[in-house]
Amino acid sequence: MDSLVVLLLISMWLYLIPAVIADLRKHHNRWAIFWTNLFLGWTFLGWVAAFIWACTNPAPATTNPAPATR
């Protein structure tokens, strides 16, 4: 029985790896990645998409540069 619980916990953790990676990297779309992973991860294609998305670099914060003066 104990090994079944351990196996279930490990399986859940492996399933949610994309969401964990996104959260650890403070990805700006971490909640979207979590929900994609949760609802589409079982298709494997959805899991791979969430994993790749979580591993991409978040978009850097853009700043408005000062206008060039002559």
Per-residue model confidence as pLDDT tens digits over 42-68: 999 999 999 999 999 866 666 666 677
45 domain residue, yes or no: yes
Mean pLDDT, the chain, rounded, equals 89
SS3 27: coil
Residue 21: which domain range?
2-55
14 domain residue, yes or no: yes
How far, in Å, CA of 61 to CA of 41, rounded? 29
Residues in contact with 12: Cβ distance below 8 Å, sequence separation at least 6, in sequence order? none
61 domain residue, yes or no: no
68 domain residue, yes or no: no
pTM: 0.74
Looking at the structure of the chain, the number of domains it has is 1
